Structure 1
Amino acid sequence: MTAQFDVVDLIRSKRSGRRLDDEQIDWLLDAYTRGSVADEQMSAMAMAIYFQGLDGPELSRWTAAMIASGERLDFSGLSRPTVDKHSTGGVGDKITLPLAPLVAACGAAVPQLSGRGLGHTGGTLDKMEAIPGWHADLSTGQMMRQLEEVGAVICAAGPGLAPADKKLYALRDVTGTVESVPLIASSIMSKKIAEGTSALVLDVKTGSGAFMKTESDARELAGRLVELGRAAGVTTTALLTRMDSPLGRAAGNGVEVAEAVEVLQGGGPADVVELTLALARRMVEAVGIDADPEQALRSGAAMDVWRRMVQAQGGDPDARLPVARHSQDVVATEAGTLTGIDAMDVGLAAWRLGAGRARKEDPVQAAAGVYLTAQIGDEVVAGQPLATLLTDTAEAIPRAEQALAGAFSIGAAGPRPGVLIDVL
């Protein structure tokens, strides 16, 4: 790269609302990845972007520069078409677990390169690691073989994919710039495009337990994600889904695995099944496969792929999942209809119980979490258990109970809206 710029000039330019050109963006992200732009300088740039934004061409180039900072996977040698799914995260969002084997059972290859949880939203790898023996780290060769032979893989992304994003992601987390739509969009899509999938379905969540609290913000993010994917030649669509209440009954790691297995066995909560099938239909459609995901679920074909996928990564699909050493019920204080369960409160309680982490290096408890024993629309009486708190550390229970103090709304019954809001 021959062009050279003064990073302070670029910060001032963006701070003043001027746009960055292609060469400036390319130089900035390359220099930051190599360490010649300091963290405090990139922090200032991230804050300038937080307030001034990036326009369409800037965002496209910013994303491309992050992709160019590392390697790009190539799935063209596989006999199956590849399709991936990304969720913006939520409470009880275990959808990847039943979805990946379900779509693989329909004939696609599903490379789910996933991450770990931070704060109130759980990480897919943390959930899978509750399965005895299962491991997340695969070489590229191992991942390719598993995709060809099994059809699905859930594993950690290698360090070579979009390293600029890895550095910037960590920086945004400690500088108050996480909520910037262009920085969120470029972070998500740089990794997903670098993964090399031919099609991508996005699950963009909105509500109290989601990253984007309002539907308008979620719709803006979904639109920018879809634009970036399509501009890069990836068949991309997005579903806008609700995250006001937790998905399903379980929020945690092992408890979410158990619920995902229930879905694969033909049961499970209706909302989890609904969203799993909605995403699966979009994924098979995106790669031109004529298959019925509902039939693949009913027939047990998806469950067969799950077992093979777990075994391929050292896990025992028949092993007993971890059981928490301590439990405590949260009970209703009055009679009536359960009309709401605040997803953020449930996520915070699960985190305090040990299911999540405050820092990336913190350990998580495989058995910790919240299991909802009542769901929206249920008639309840005073003293009836609404949820069970699960943890290996009894001293965590009082703070988790505090988090749930206002989580359950009891009142007059009303219709419960479906999970799916819109498709973009």
Structure 2
Amino acid sequence: MAKFLEHEGKAWLRKAGIPVPKGRAASTAEEAGRAAAELGGPVAVKGQVQAGGRGKAGIVKLVSAAEEAEAAAGEILARTVKGLPIRQVLVEEKLDIKNEYYCSFVVNGGREARSPMLMFSREGGMDIESVPEELIYKVNVDPIYGLRVYEAVDLCARAGIPAADLGKFAAFLTKLSEAYKRYDCQTLEINPFVQTGSGDLVCADCKMEIDNSAVGRHPEFGIRIARDLPGDPTELDFIGWSIEETDARGTGFLMNMGFDEVSPGYIGYHPIGGGSAMMGLDALNQVGLKPANYADTSGNPVGSKIYRVAKAVLSQPNIEGYLLGGFMMANQEQWHHAHALVKVLREVLPTQKPGLPCVLLLCGNREAESQEILKKGLADLMTPDGPGRRIEIYGKEHVTDTKFIGERLLALTREYRAEKEAQGK
């Protein structure tokens, strides 16, 4: 899912007419100090990072003056949370909190629902995970009409909201439901939303995640890559996204797996399908090799799409091998993979990566024709002194034999590494 930072989500809520605290993001301690001075009075300084538990991690601080805000921001911006660096803080007015509540709009994938669902609790705040299930009230939301006012009133009444406040809470929740639908959210979580001393309801926090498939309908979001990533996108991630964004024929997924382009033992990894991917990882793990990337060319993609993925995988610097992991009897026309691999390997091996180990496991529909395409198309490269001398091609006889495939790749990789060391490369 494409995820927004808190300050980004709140900006979109504000545009939808939903109350959020006054504030703005800052990238330096000095900016944070100026923002606090503009707001005046006590402020909250909140680290902006895609991770939960920020309060417990100590990156949310309440301060009384601009100088304190600057110092707090400096401390927060020097931190990392769950391995993620903090590059911005949100400086916003401190709220006069009377009560804290929790609400979240998510997708209920249960067979009886297949719809959005609202979860609501009077026990909002940092420890929502420990709130008993019976204190979290739920209602499925019609995907066409959204949350109806009477449904919101009923939900709040069941949760114990006083009768005098039912209309206010229902209006707040229905407006959030409208924003959830308008922005094509996958998740919209407000924890907490608060009731102030004056009785107003305000979103004190915001977690907004957009359905990847809907990003094309929202150029206003400025999302460069609609994909779940553990950190900042790399060049390979952007290349992978460009392949999938511009060609919907089958799957052509590609993303970085933490490869630093320097460390040894990394393999350009190209599985075909999710189950195949897990078996291929098992093959690598058994022999101590690591995937430089994750890829997937399943769902019967055309040869040109497979070519783009394979070319990107093989173009990664300093990989020590390439694995086409077809650990499934795929029900797709495998000759598309064969044609794509012949073209890519003929382009890459002779001039860029001569002798690179390439273990190609390809089986399934049209397997015999596909194997013939590979063997004929690469025959002149696979001579004892040719640039494809470490290409090995396997079919259904090894479809589940992860141990064999891993060991063959490891043996070729050791040979390749020794050859490069002898050449002083």
Same fold (TM over 0.5): no
Q: Shorter-chain TM-score: which interval? A: under 0.3
Per the normalisation by structure 2, the TM-score is 0.23
More helix by share: 1
Query: Which of 1 and 2 has higher RCO (CA within 8 Å, sep 6+)?
Result: 1
Q: Which has the larger radius of gyration?
A: 2
Per the normalisation by structure 1, the TM-score is 0.23
More strand by share: 2
